Amino acid sequence: MKKSLTLLAAFIFGLTLFGFGCKKDTAMNKASINSFDQPATTSTQPIKKPTTPTQPTPAAPAPSSDILYLKQVMKNLLQVRSFRASMSVPSTDGTLTGEIEFVRQGGLHGTLNLPGQITSEVYLLGQDIFFRTGTSTWINLSAKPEGKKAAELFQSAFSLNADETSIPISNSARVLGISDDPQGCKLYTITQSKSDGSGPQQSQICVKNDLPVYLKAPGDQGIVQVSYRDFNTDIKLNPPSVK
């Protein structure tokens, strides 16, 4: 179970690379993933020393029209009422693949697959998170510490607030190239600093009808990809029966 929950956390963290949840939460999410099997610890914060005033930092150049457009595309994604998506996330145990059905006012249903492993399935419905592997009995993880961590990650990954902090494209990002993709979308290749300030790193966004068709970005073990479809369609979630 702990193994499956750790993979579940890796799956959610992959979503944060693509605009689900604030960029400022990315480090927290990654730390939460690493701490799934770790006991809670108490730490103290160091006392900050007064700093000497410095000269004002020159204003950063305004983002290009292409970057502004891509930021709007990602905001559009955060405002749709429903969609389906496929994801692949490389890990040390192989490539994790997943399918999700997302209904903004209803919740989320996801399936996770790892080569040689039993399929895991998850529902997020309000504050409840249901989980099972294979055809085992559904369990409600909401009251368990690991379940609470997973729920927090899901809530962050699928933030209902579409604001500037939720967009994984910085104003300083640059477009390296634009081309026509065989899938009928316009492919943008961009470069920007990583969320931790290091970098730069490249990512790709393919756009059609002002919404992403797929996104690619580097993860810890390779390229993470998410593909989207069925925007704003009538998706029915079938909550599990838990006694």
pLDDT tens per residue across span 58-81: 666 788 999 999 999 988 988 899
Looking at residue 83, what DSSP letter applies? E
Q: Is the pLDDT reported for residue 22 higher than 60?
A: no
First to last CA, the chain: 20
Q: How far is CA 133 from the centre of its chain?
A: 22
Task: Give the model's pLDDT for residue 54.
Answer: 66
Fold of 2-36+64-229: outer membrane lipoprotein receptor (LolB), chain A (2.50.20)
| pLDDT number for residue 184 | 97
Backbone φ and ψ for 153, nearest 5 degrees, come out as -65, -40
Nearest to 113, CA basis, from 241, 11, 1, 223: 11
User: What's the token pair of residue 236?
Assistant: 């029915």
**Mean pLDDT for the chain?**
76
Interval 148-168 mean pLDDT: 57
The DSSP code for 32 is: H
Q: pLDDT category, 16, cuts 50, 70, 90?
A: low
Comparing 86 with 156, the larger pLDDT belongs to 86
Q: In this structure, is the dihedral angle defined by the CA atoms of residues 192, 185, 110 and 117, taken in order, positive or negative?
A: negative
pTM given for the model: 0.75
pLDDT, mean of residues 115-129: 82
